């Protein structure tokens, strides 16, 4: 099956890119970079790339004047090269999130089943298209009956491999209808799976072979535009790195850093959000309820999610406000253990593993709730602080 070039221009992450742009595939990266920047559209390319990095650093979900023309192919290829050259997992995560969200928005705006079908075909997905849409059940909300129908089904193996990182309950195979091994899927959810494909495609791991990276950087060091973009991105990164690294180094009450008071189950989720990794539904609920229980401000809780691939500020703000109103109690340790979210062993956390109270191991009490963990840690921190103060006062007497 041949996919139109125009579709490749809009979605250059498609496998057929190699076929349509075979002349690029035959060049070395340095040759490609120097040729592409010497064209009359070189400065436009530069601007688009810098806009993407800027938007990723600002944690935006889209770019207002994003263009999906032929230059898009060069932007995508250069973006991959820059991510390799930068060799920084945090920048890569942000860029991958932004780019995949842009892709999602473009596919949603397009609202074109034929293109969606062609894209799936090009990705090698086993997909079936139904015209008219096929009915696969009824959704009953209160007394309202809503007919479920879709044009698409996807083979369950492809469904599982695309949805493997999206572990929300409603995406589980058991919660979806199947016909002859094919899962019924609404367009929007299919596009969300494609978004995840694009995100993973950009998520190149940090270079293992640092010598090759060094050699590459040397090779391209005299390509003026490439060097300028790289330096600009690195400068911005240096200026703003603290903002990324310490996003969650939050102050609470008497300037105590909460992170040191949090249990592993909480810190793991915060680490994931910081790295822009996806969170499963239960992780999202737990972290929101936990932070709200500590009276963490709503807007700060919302900001926490802004690095995630499917972030939607309006929706998240609504959900966090709703949770605040409902005053939900965060999961206790037992529930977190049953959800595989307890990380006491992985983090070798002494308080979680050995409990508190008596020095006699058999008499020690177990931590039963992450909020209680924080309370004990806080108590211990203020006790140590008071002790230090007293010692200092004694010395000064």
Which residues of this protein are in contact with ligand SF4, per CB under 6 A?
263-265, 333, 336, 342-344, 352, 367, 370, 373
Measured from the CB atom, the residue of 320 and 367 that comes closer to ligand SF4 is 367
CB of 348 to ligand SF4, least distance (A): 11
CB of 265 to ligand SF4, least distance (A): 3
Measured from the CB atom, the residue of 264 and 276 that comes closer to ligand SF4 is 264
CB of 372 to ligand SF4, least distance (A): 8
Residues in contact with 57: Cβ distance below 8 Å, sequence separation at least 6, in sequence order: 94, 236, 237, 240
Measured from the CB atom, the residue of 215 and 353 that comes closer to ligand SF4 is 353
CA 244, 100, 95 angle in degrees (round to 5)? 30
Return d(Cα 221, Cα 368) in angstroms, integer.
56
Would you list the DSSP string of 72-89? HHHHHHHHHHHHHHHT-H
Return d(Cα 217, Cα 29) in angstroms, integer.
11
CB of 345 to ligand SF4, least distance (A): 9
CB of 17 to ligand SF4, least distance (A): 44
In a 10 Å sphere around its CB, with 0-12 CB exposed, 13-18 middle and 19+ buried, how is residue 102 labelled?
buried
- Residue 296: count of CB within 10 angstroms of its CB: 19
Measured from the CB atom, the residue of 78 and 352 that comes closer to ligand SF4 is 352
CB of 263 to ligand SF4, least distance (A): 3
Residues in contact with 147: Cβ distance below 8 Å, sequence separation at least 6, in sequence order: 135, 138
Measured from the CB atom, the residue of 13 and 373 that comes closer to ligand SF4 is 373
CB of 266 to ligand SF4, least distance (A): 7
Residues in contact with 366: Cβ distance below 8 Å, sequence separation at least 6, in sequence order: 333, 355
Contact predicate 296/253, CB 8 Å: no
Measured from the CB atom, the residue of 264 and 309 that comes closer to ligand SF4 is 264
Measured from the CB atom, the residue of 263 and 276 that comes closer to ligand SF4 is 263
Would you list the DSSP string of 13-51? TSTTHHHHTHHHHTS-HHHHHHHHHHSTTHHHHHHHHHH
């Amino acid at each position: 099956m041949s996919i139109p070039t125009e579709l490749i221009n809009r979605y250059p992450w498609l496998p057929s890119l190699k076929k349509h742009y075979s002349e690029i595939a035959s060049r070395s990266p340095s040759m490609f970079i120097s040729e592409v920047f010497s064209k009359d559209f070189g400065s436009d390319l530069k601007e688009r790339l810098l806009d993407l990095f800027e938007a990723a650093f600002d944690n935006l979900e889209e770019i207002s004047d994003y263009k999906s023309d032929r230059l898009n192919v060069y932007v995508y290829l250069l973006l991959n090269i820059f991510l390799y050259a930068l060799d920084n997992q945090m920048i890569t995560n942000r860029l991958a999130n932004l780019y995949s969200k842009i892709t999602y928005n473009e596919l949603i705006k397009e609202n074109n089943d034929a293109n969606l079908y062609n894209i799936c075909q090009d990705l090698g997905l086993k997909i079936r298209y139904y015209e008219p849409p096929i009915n696969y059940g009824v959704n009953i909300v209160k007394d309202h009956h809503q007919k479920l129908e879709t044009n698409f089904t996807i083979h369950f193996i492809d469904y599982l491999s695309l949805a493997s990182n999206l572990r929300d309950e409603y995406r589980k195979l058991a919660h979806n209808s199947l016909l002859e091994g094919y899962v019924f899927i609404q367009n929007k959810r299919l596009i969300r799976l494609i978004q995840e494909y694009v995100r993973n495609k950009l998520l190149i791991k940090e270079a293992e072979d640092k010598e090759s990276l060094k050699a590459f950087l040397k090779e391209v060091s005299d390509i003026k535009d490439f060097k300028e973009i790289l330096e600009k991105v690195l400068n911005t990164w240096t200026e703003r790195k603290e903002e990324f690294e310490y996003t969650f180094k939050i102050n609470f009450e008497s300037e105590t850093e909460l992170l040191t008071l949090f249990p592993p189950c909480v810190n793991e989720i915060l680490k994931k959000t910081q790295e822009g990794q996806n969170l499963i539904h239960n992780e999202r609920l737990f972290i929101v309820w936990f932070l709200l229980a500590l009276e963490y401000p709503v807007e700060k809780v919302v900001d926490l999610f802004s690095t995630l691939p499917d972030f939607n500020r309006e929706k998240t703000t609504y959900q966090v406000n709703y949770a605040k109103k409902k005053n939900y109690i965060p999961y206790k340790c037992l529930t977190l253990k049953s959800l595989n979210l307890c990380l006491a062993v992985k983090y070798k956390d002494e308080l979680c593993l050995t409990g508190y109270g008596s020095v006699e191991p058999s008499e020690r009490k177990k931590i039963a709730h992450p909020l209680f963990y924080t309370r004990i840690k806080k108590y211990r921190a203020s006790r140590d602080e008071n002790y230090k103060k007293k010692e200092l006062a004694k010395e000064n007497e």
